[in-house]
Amino acid sequence: MICRGIADDPDILGLIGEAPVRQRRPNLLLAAVHFLLLGGAAHPLADHYDTVRSITGPGSEALGAGAGPGDGLGPGAGHPPGDAGPGDAGRAGRDVVADFKDFVMVHRDELLALIAVRSTQTNEVGRCTALLPALGAIGAGYPDGQPLWLLDLGTSAGLNLLFDSYAYTYRQRADGSTLVAGHGGALVHLECVVRGDLGDLPPLGLPPIAGRTGIDVLPIDPTSDDGADWLLACLWPDNLPRFARLRGALATARNTADPPTVYRGDIIKDLPGVVKAIDTDGPLVVFHSWVAAYLSPERQGQLVETLRDLSRERPLHYLYAEAPIETPGLPTPPSPSPGSTSHLATAVVHLPPGGSVPVRLADMHHHGKWLQWWASGEG
């Protein structure tokens, strides 16, 4: 509603037009507004944002607090969408578009400062519902239990590198039967509907991990209040389950005794140097999710060739979850299911010495809500 209401507004468009050319993105303005509201900016617009109301209502927690297994914000925090809660009476009859524009005009200078230097960032841990079985399948190719080293490209805050700190429930769509995996006492509980049989999934035990590394052009420190709040601000304000999930993941990162090593750099140009700095000659799993879609097809091909070159020096597995229609430069096999071009494909390429034939492990929801597993993916 907000986007439709301001699409042709000359004042809003004028503000965006003052930003540097590369920063003239509507999503940046939306995130900047959300960021200020989450930071406590007092304005009637806050009553329209479920996320803001969830952290300011009775019993609510500070932004850094974790989420419980129900994807809520903890006991007494916030309220389910559609239920009466703090701010409902205040926003009744109010025009959200008018409130949004007034907020933007009141905070114009602050918003321009944010838009000039920030970039939209997300770190969707829901995709770990595909990462867990994929890593389990790769690990099964090492019967001696050799630990894997993980390297996440476009890692953002490195939250997917902490996949083994989350709890998982896989529910079969046909009969509702479940498999439970991961860390039982986790702050983040991920649920995934399995299309097909639960027995199609590889073993869901946690593979041994030797180390965790990430690369991002603009990494976010999850232990920083500013960084955590900006990640939260880049989410849509009406999606409380996703908001709660990210809060739990951020709290997990803050409490991690051995956090991942994250490098600032280009995921292609700086990749060889980062791999060289990894202090092991054991198997390396390089993975990314919804990152290659931001590269041109030519750059996607360069990434694949760079990984092939690196695989000449060590066992290397290339794992990714990307939309095939947006990543023609990746070696993604066709889906066994016709008409699935809009889905993310989870694929793995076992590079030398394990071979180089790509395997389409699964199709999945872009936030990991469902999974159709196709192949074992074992080396």
Q: Exposed (0-12), middle (13-18) or buried (19+): which is 373, by Cβ within 10 Å?
A: buried
Residue-by-residue pLDDT tens, the chain, 379 positions: 888 888 888 889 888 888 888 898 889 999 999 999 999 999 999 999 999 999 876 545 544 433 333 333 332 233 333 333 434 444 555 799 999 999 999 999 999 999 999 998 889 999 999 999 999 999 988 888 899 999 999 999 999 999 999 999 999 988 989 999 999 889 999 999 999 899 999 989 899 999 999 999 999 999 999 999 999 999 999 999 999 999 999 999 999 999 999 999 999 999 999 999 998 888 999 999 999 999 999 999 999 999 999 998 888 999 999 999 999 999 999 888 876 666 788 888 887 665 678 999 999 999 999 999 997 544 4
pTM score of the predicted model: 0.87
Residues 6+ positions from 213 with CB-CB distance below 8 Å: 149, 150, 151, 152, 161, 260, 261, 262, 263, 274, 278
Q: Which two tokens stand for residue 261?
A: 């090593």
Query: What is d(CA 119, CA 236) in angstroms, rounded to the nearest whole number?
Result: 15
Two tokens at 225? 């209040």
Residues in the chain: 379
Q: To the nearest 10°, report the CA torsion of 215, 219, 225, 226.
A: 180
